[in-house]
A and B are shown apart, each in its own frame.
Chain A
C-alpha cells in the first residue's frame, strides 16, 4: 500500500504530462474550426514524440525510468453519400494510441512500454442552404497499463459524450462524462468563403474568437479547471495572422502564423506557449500534405504529450470541400478552387 501511495505521489509530482482528455478537446476544436457546412471530408493523422529522453516515469519494479512519450493518431470524417443533395450525413471515427517507451521508435515499441488507446466515434450532418453542420458521438479511453510480463494498470478507463454544432460562423462544443461536464467552447469561427481578389480583405472577415471551459483533466494548459478566451486576427487576406489565448489559469499562448498560399498549406508558425511542461517557443513548418513541428503548442495539446524537452511531430491535417479542393482546417479555398 505504501509503495502504491509513493508511486501515486511521484506521478503527481511528475504531472506535467498533458492528460488524454485534452487531446479529444483539441481534436474537437480542430474539427469545429475545420468542418463548415460545405465540407465533405476531414483528415487528421500524425505522430508526435519526445526527441530527447525525459525522466520521472515511475515503475513499481524497475525504478524511475528514463525514456520517451510517443503517440499516433488517425481521425477522419466522411460526408456522403449523395453529393447532389443539400442535406448530407456522415461518419466520424478516431483512433489514438501511445504512451511511454524506453526508446525512440518509428513503429510500435517492441517491449517494455506504457500504453493507452483512445477511440471516438460519431455521426455528422450538414445542410447547405440552412448553413449548419453538426456532429455528436462517444469518446472512450482504454485503461493505461504497462506492457510487460509484470504489467499493471496505472490509469482507469474513461468515457464521455460530445456534441458540436455550427450555424453560419457561430458554433459550440460540449462534452460530458459520467461525473459531469468536461469541456465546452463557443466560438465565432473562420469563414470558409474564398477571398476574391479585392473583396473581403478587411478586418472583420478575418477575425475569429472563442470562449472555452475545460475541466482540470481536459485542460492542456494547466492542471486546474478554467475558462479561457482565444482571439485570432488575420491581415493581408490571412497571409499573416496572430493568435492570443489566455485563461483564468493565466497566459496560454501567442502565435504568429504566415501563409504563402491562400489555403494555408505552406507557411511557418512561430509560438510561445505556457503548457503544463513550462514556457517555451515552438515552430511549425507547413508544406502540402504535411506539417512538421518542434514544441508546437497545438500538437502537444492535440496528442496529449508533455512539452518537456523537445517534442516533434509529423502530421497531416486537411479538409475537403470537393474532391480536388483541400485546405487546412480554419483556412479557405482560393477563388481558383484550391490546391
Chain B
C-alpha cells in the first residue's frame, strides 16, 4: 500500500508540474498606426529613463500594423509610445497607463492627424 501511495505522490507531483507549465506567459502587444506620423518606439516605465523599450524597425508608418511585441511583465503598466513628426523634427511621447493580463494580447491603435490630437485606442 505504501508503494501505491508513493507512486500516487509522484504522479500528483508530475501533474502539478504540467499544470504549472501550462499557465502564464508574457503579455503581448500589437500596434496599429492610423495617425499621420510614424511610430518609432514603445516602452514601459519613465520615458526619460526607460527601463524597457522596444524600437520598431523599420518605424511603423501610417496604415501599418506592427509585429506582435512581447512585454516584459503583466499588470497596470506605465506604457508609453514614441511618435515622431519627421517633418517638424519633433517627437511626441504618448503616456498611457494600460492593464495587460498575464498571457493576454492587446491591440492598440495610434491615431491623430495633428500632433495635438495624437491618442491611442481602445
Interface residues of A (CB under 8 A from B): 49, 51, 53, 55, 57, 59, 61-68, 102-104, 106, 111-112, 148-150, 265-266, 285, 287-290, 292, 312, 314, 339
State A339–B2 Cα separation when bound (angstroms).
9
Tally inter-chain residue pairs, CB-CB below 8 A. 95
Tell me if B5 and A287 are in contact (CB < 8 A): yes
Tell me if A103 and B25 are in contact (CB < 8 A): yes
Asked if B9 is at the interface of the complex by the 8 Å CB criterion, the answer is yes
Q: Which residues of A contact B110 (CB under 8 A)?
A: none
Asked if B26 is at the interface of the complex by the 8 Å CB criterion, the answer is yes
Minimal Cβ-Cβ distance residue in B for A57: B75
Tell me if B74 and A102 are in contact (CB < 8 A): yes
**Chain B residues touching A, range:** 20 to 34
Asked if B82 is at the interface of the complex by the 8 Å CB criterion, the answer is no
Asked if B97 is at the interface of the complex by the 8 Å CB criterion, the answer is yes
Tell me if A62 and B12 are in contact (CB < 8 A): no
Main secondary structure of the interface of B (DSSP, over half): mixed
* Cross-interface CB contact of B75 among A49, A55, A288, A314, cutoff 8 Å: A55
Chain A's nearest CB lies how many Å from the CB of B114? 29
Q: Which residues of A contact B116 (CB under 8 A)?
A: none
Tell me if B24 and A53 are in contact (CB < 8 A): yes
Q: Which residues of A contact B97 (CB under 8 A)?
A: 63
Q: A63-B77, A148-B51 are in contact. Are A53 and B9 (CB under 8 A)?
A: no
Q: Which residues of B contact A51 (CB under 8 A)?
A: 19-20, 23
29 contacts between A and B (CB under 8 A): A51-B19, A55-B75, A55-B76, A61-B45, A61-B46, A61-B51, A62-B44, A62-B45, A62-B51, A62-B52, A62-B72, A62-B77, A64-B75, A64-B76, A65-B73, A66-B75, A66-B100, A68-B24, A103-B26, A106-B21, A111-B72, A112-B73, A149-B51, A285-B12, A287-B5, A287-B6, A287-B8, A289-B9, A314-B13
Q: Which residues of B contact A55 (CB under 8 A)?
A: 75-76
Asked if B91 is at the interface of the complex by the 8 Å CB criterion, the answer is no
Most chain B beta-carbon neighbours within 10 Å: one of A53, A62, A102, A148: A62
